[in-house]
Structure 1
Amino acid sequence: MTIVAIILIVIIGITASDREKITSIENLIGSIITPIQKIFYNSSESVVGTVKSIGSITQLKNENSSLKEENAKLKEQVRNYEDIISKTDYLRNAAILKEKTKYNLVETQIIGKDPENWFDRFVIDKGSKDGIKKGDAVIQGIEVDGNTIEEGLVGRVVEVGDNWAKVIAIIDEGSNLSFNVIRTQDGGIIKGDFEGNISGYLFDTKADVVKGDKLLTSGLGGIFIKGLYIGEISEVTKNSDDLLVNIEVKSAVNFNKLQNVFVIIGK
């Protein structure tokens, strides 16, 4: 490398002056040195290019890492916003219900669900220390006809501990309740099934009930307080050979999204 540098300096010195022709020795030396010079030049350019490429890759990795971190934060924010939005209706209905209800309510959170009856039976985080007892009705604030909030029936308390209670929902196959149709005041019995549906019958075979009729608890049998909103009839089956009018009922409560419920305590 040193020898090449010296030769190049000599050539530069010799050719520094303006001449029309170069000597044969200069031409020979130039012919020998030029390929070598080209190799060293290309090598140096390659090294510089490699260094720049490594720098670019490092920069891209850093930028990618920053983008991933920012993306994760944005996704978390979106989840938080979606959670807030999903709870908006419940929070609004709960606030209105607490203002208008005539009952003493204990607000509770669902902390466990029966693995065999995932939406039918669940555990809440309040118990006898909060005034809850076996048989108490469990409700949720439900919007009816787009402008009124009613006590929507969820189920009833079947077991109570000091700071917990177990609830059986009205869609459970072990749940039975009597009802009245608001429009006609016809009465009947409904119950849940193992698929989470609600069906039943009316006592009067001539009852003039139709799809969309709304139901309230009747209070008969003392299982539930009278006047709690159940839901509406989704199907009516009248059979001349059957002594009863059979109905299917759509609950006002969305059991798939239950998180918080109220328990009616006291008389």
Structure 2
Amino acid sequence: MDFFKKHALVVLTTTGIFLALVFYSLNIPHNREANAIERTALAIFGPVLKPASVISHFFENVWDGYINLVGVHKENQKLRGMIKELNTRIIADNEALQENQRLSRLLEMKESVKEPTLSASVVGEDFSSWFRTLVINRGSSSGIREGMAVIGADGVVGQIVKVSVDVSRVLLLTDHASGIAATIQRSRARGVVKGKGEGLCTLEFTTREEDVKIGDQVVASGIGGVFLKGTPIGEVTMVKRGEFGIFQTVTIRPAVNISHLEEVFVVLRGGV
């Protein structure tokens, strides 16, 4: 009895382990079937475990979906950046292509001009109700003087009317104050091209007997020494002969699209 009291903990522990081993060994032949304790536990906790499993799967799917959305968002941002970069490159390439085309046409015009010329870029414009002028990025420091002719790839643009050190103002051929001695290329009829406004010109001082037709090309006659003979001015778009008077009314559309000008040439001769 004293032995049992002294070693009660050891005896109880050993007995518990022994009983557990016996219970486990008895349950081995029936490991594919639930015993009474397992069946009771399943009956009690089964209704609770099923909703818990559904909720667990729900949150697992939500988490997986969130992770996928984060990946898709990052991929979209990356693709948007690539598209933006490609669009920027396309725009730059198109600008370079158009500039190359414009400069190629200017070079062709320059080769046809026997006088020395200076290229310039349009940096400003004034299309008010009173004046039709452009501002170019060349001035007296580049040898520009008032009165010099300005031409584009397609023909006459206008004449230098004001010069500073680095910029100059060009009076356009469509301005009312402009006057260019001109010739109808086909019939050699002469007149003076005056600005009419609204992007048009008129051929004045051409008598009713002169042969002028719609579609005729108008070129500089060279009289006055400002514009080189044969430089294109525009095309006849309307001819009107009144019953009275000795002159006919001739409307001309300029060869140069003034509103789209970006580069021009200044003919370096004459001027004051």
Same fold flag (TM > 0.5): yes
Listed as ranges, the matches of 1:75-154 within 5 Å are 75-114=87-126, 116=128, 120-142=132-154, 152-154=155-157
Gap change, CA 1:213 and 1:202, over 3 Å in 2: farther
* Distance in 2 separating the partners of 1:79 and 1:217: 38
Q: Residue 30 of structure 1: which of 42, 60, 71 is its match?
A: 42
* Distance in 2 separating the partners of 1:194 and 1:135: 21
Q: Secondary structure at the match of 2:177?
A: coil
Gap change, CA 1:26 and 1:123, over 3 Å in 2: same
Gap change, CA 1:240 and 1:185, over 3 Å in 2: same
Deviation at 1:15, TM superposition (A): 9.5
Q: Residue 17 of structure 1: which of 18, 24, 30 is its match?
A: 30
2:253 corresponds to 1:233 = no
Q: Residue 197 of structure 1: which of 190, 194, 200 is its match?
A: 200
2:9 is matched with: none
2:167 corresponds to 1:167 = no
Q: Secondary structure at the match of 2:197?
A: coil
2:53 corresponds to 1:41 = yes
Q: Residue 213 of structure 1: which of 183, 193, 216 is its match?
A: 216
Gap change, CA 1:117 and 1:167, over 3 Å in 2: farther
* Distance in 2 separating the partners of 1:37 and 1:202: 106
1:176 is matched with: 179
2:259 corresponds to 1:256 = yes
Higher strand fraction (1 or 2): 1
Unaligned runs of 5+ in 2: 1-25
Gap change, CA 1:176 and 1:164, over 3 Å in 2: same
Q: How many aligned residue pairs are there?
A: 246
Of stretches 177-186 and 187-196 in structure 1, the one that deviates more from structure 2 is 187-196
Q: CA RMSD in A?
A: 2.7
2:190 is matched with: 187
Give me the TM-score of the superposition, normalised by structure 2: 0.80
**What are the superposed Cα offsets for residues 163-184 of structure 1, whole Å, 9 maximum, x if unpaired?**
1111111112222222111111
Unaligned runs of 5+ in 1: 1-12, 143-151
2:71 corresponds to 1:59 = yes
* Distance in 1 separating the partners of 2:47 and 2:130: 82
Bigger Rg over Cα: 2
8 Å CA contact retained: 1:153, 1:230 = yes
